[in-house]
Amino acid sequence: MIPRPESREPDPNIFLYDTLQRQKVRFTPTTPGRVGMYLCGPTVYSDAHLGHAKKEVAFDVIRRAFLHLGYQVRYVGNITDVGHLQNDADEGEDKIAKRAALEQLEPMEVADKYFWSFVRDMEALNILKPSINPRATGHITEQIRLIEELIERGHAYESQGSVYFDVRSWPEYGKLSGRKLDEQEEGTREVVREEKRDPRDFALWKRAEAGHIMRWESPWGVGFPGWHIECSAMSLKYLGEGFDIHGGGLDLQFPHHEAEIAQSEAAGHAFARYWMHNNMLTIGGEKMSKSKGNFTTIAELLEKHDPMVVRFLLVGSHYRSVTEFSEEAFESARNGYRRLTETLHEVGRRLQGAPAGATEALDARVQAHTHAFEDALRDDFNTPKAVAALFGLTGDVNAALASGPVGQDTLNRVQEAYMALGGGVLGLFHASASERQDDTQVVDTLMELVLKARQHYRLSKQYAQADELRDTLARVGVTVEDTKDGVRWKR
């Protein structure tokens, strides 16, 4: 966990884009100084892919930004382990149950297997653990209670052992997505229509047919919850009435989030006050998705790429913009990330032996870039602008380091700025960076030895050997320069 800066008052000037109001609005928390966030998590029936990473990183950065700007955050990220059918229109097999049959596992084994795989991927990507990670199957009672409230209030009805939300009883249905009546019906087929009063009605509870293995007792017979109801039940349980922020992918706006709002409000609960949606990670212009099969899992990616480069790639585009996945995008992320870490490491090296005191001109630049970075966060968590501020800082630091000695206090402040902004907020300097730090120490020591040997050859006029050392280093990308201040190297 990154600690909340103790000294900082909660920032009152954060603006975020609220999907419901369709504009950027000032964020005001329900409870001063605290933010409650709920994020629709994965359906755990297969390994997570880069699209999931885009969403998780987006909301992780938003959470970290709130922490940085003086708030305490309760972050609830749910795990869907029941009720998510293959078709959004209440049809098809349960995704988990289908996978269980395929892998010859218990449904809960499937859920656990992919839950832990998800946790491993998220850890590798330096995503902070949710404060609460509730699962749908652990909250059947809460879901049944909410459905009962809806029936009591006349907004839901039972039909042949299933319970549906009565869309006609709730005129606000459609307010989030702005979908017209006919568009709300998309994909609904005749079989289910017969049970429904209106084709737009959605399942709150489904009767379990013989052979359906995920089943629970309910007032309406044996069945299982519909997909949408879990998120209403769990967000309200852990974040309370009128909680602050509900997040998820743009593709969940309809029907999932539309249904969440309708069923929560119709049951008499004040629901999320701000709705935030991340745009999609695409491949060849199409959404990366499990069901389309056009995905690359996070685990596969991490065999080839540093997780921090993956993260850098994702924060390089705004959460509301599309990110197109390509090898070229990785290449440029790798180069960009290297530029940051090289400077950070150089600052570490220069700290030893730096003159005491400050270098005021650079101090002023550090402050200016820090302000620019924070302004970018306040403007709907604009990470590309924040990254640009880090590059601005990097440029100024490089220029200062090249032009002469920099005071120790200033170097410390530069390091702190990198760690707080690039590390704390963007989450870019994780274990892989510290591993590289260890690696850097080993490389530094080895280089010192090699350069001493080279110096020895030169002093004893064995120039061929000295040059051979230099050329060998050049072949692995290390250049050695003889300057008036002594020998310097870089890679």
Ligand X SMILES: Nc1ncnc2c1ncn2[C@@H]1O[C@H](COP(=O)(O)OP(=O)(O)OP(=O)(O)O)[C@@H](O)[C@H]1O
Q: Which is nearer to ligand X, 84 or 378 (CB)?
A: 84
145 burial type by CB count under 10 A (0-12 exposed, 13-18 middle, 19+ buried): middle
- β 72-77/34-39 pair status: parallel
CA dist 58 and 410 (Å) reads 31
- How many angstroms separate the Cα of 231 from the Cα of each of 127, 239, 253, 329? 21, 11, 13, 34
- Is residue 287 near ligand X by the rule CB under 6 A? yes
Q: Which is nearer to Zn ion, 53 or 231 (CB)?
A: 231
Q: Which is nearer to ligand X, 137 or 408 (CB)?
A: 137
Residue 21 CB partners (closer than 8 Å, separation 6+): none
CA dist 295 and 286 (Å) reads 10
Residue 489's beta-bridge partner residues? 480
- Is residue 246 near ligand X by the rule CB under 6 A? no
Q: Which is nearer to ligand X, 111 or 433 (CB)?
A: 111
Out of 40, 111, 315, 386, which residue is the one contacting Zn ion (CB under 5 A)?
40
- Is residue 55 near ligand X by the rule CB under 6 A? yes
Q: Does 260 count as an annotated binding residue?
A: yes
Q: Which is nearer to ligand X, 199 or 249 (CB)?
A: 249
- Is residue 320 near ligand X by the rule CB under 6 A? no
Q: Does 369 count as an annotated binding residue?
A: no
Candidate segments 279-287, 366-374, 378-386, 393-401, binder of ligand X by CB under 6 A: 279-287
- Is residue 204 near Zn ion by the rule CB under 5 A? no
Q: What's the per-residue H, E or C state across 276-327?
A: EEECCEEECCEECCCCCCCCCEHHHHHHHCCHHHHHHHHHCCCCCCCEECCH
Out of 77, 199, 226, 248, which residue is the one contacting ligand X (CB under 6 A)?
248
CB 368, min distance to Zn ion, A = 41
Q: What's the per-residue H, E or C state across 26-44?
A: ECCCCCCCEEEEEECCCEC
Of these partners, Zn ion, ligand X, none, which one is at the site of residue 291 (CB under 5 to 8 Å by kind)?
ligand X
Q: Are 80 and 230 contacting, i.e. CB atoms less than 8 angstroms apart? A: yes
Q: To 10 degrees, what angle do helices 360-378 and 408-417 make?
A: 10
Candidate segments 177-185, 225-233, 369-377, 450-458, binder of Zn ion by CB under 5 A: 225-233
Out of 231, 281, 426, 480, which residue is the one contacting Zn ion (CB under 5 A)?
231
> For residue 443, how far is the Cα from the chain centroid?
33
Q: Are 76 and 239 contacting, i.e. CB atoms less than 8 angstroms apart? A: yes
Candidate segments 52-60, 217-225, 410-418, 475-483, binder of ligand X by CB under 6 A: 52-60
- Is residue 73 near Zn ion by the rule CB under 5 A? no
Tokens 């930004």 sit on residue: 65
CB 213, min distance to ligand X, A = 20
- Is residue 54 near ligand X by the rule CB under 6 A? yes
- How many angstroms separate the Cα of 177 from the Cα of each of 120, 181, 229? 33, 11, 18
Of these partners, Zn ion, ligand X, none, which one is at the site of residue 287 (CB under 5 to 8 Å by kind)?
ligand X
Q: Which is nearer to ligand X, 287 or 385 (CB)?
A: 287
* Residues of the binding site for ATP: 290
Q: What is the contact surface with ligand X in residues (CB under 6 A)? A: 40, 42-43, 51-52, 54-55, 248-249, 251-252, 278, 280-281, 287-291
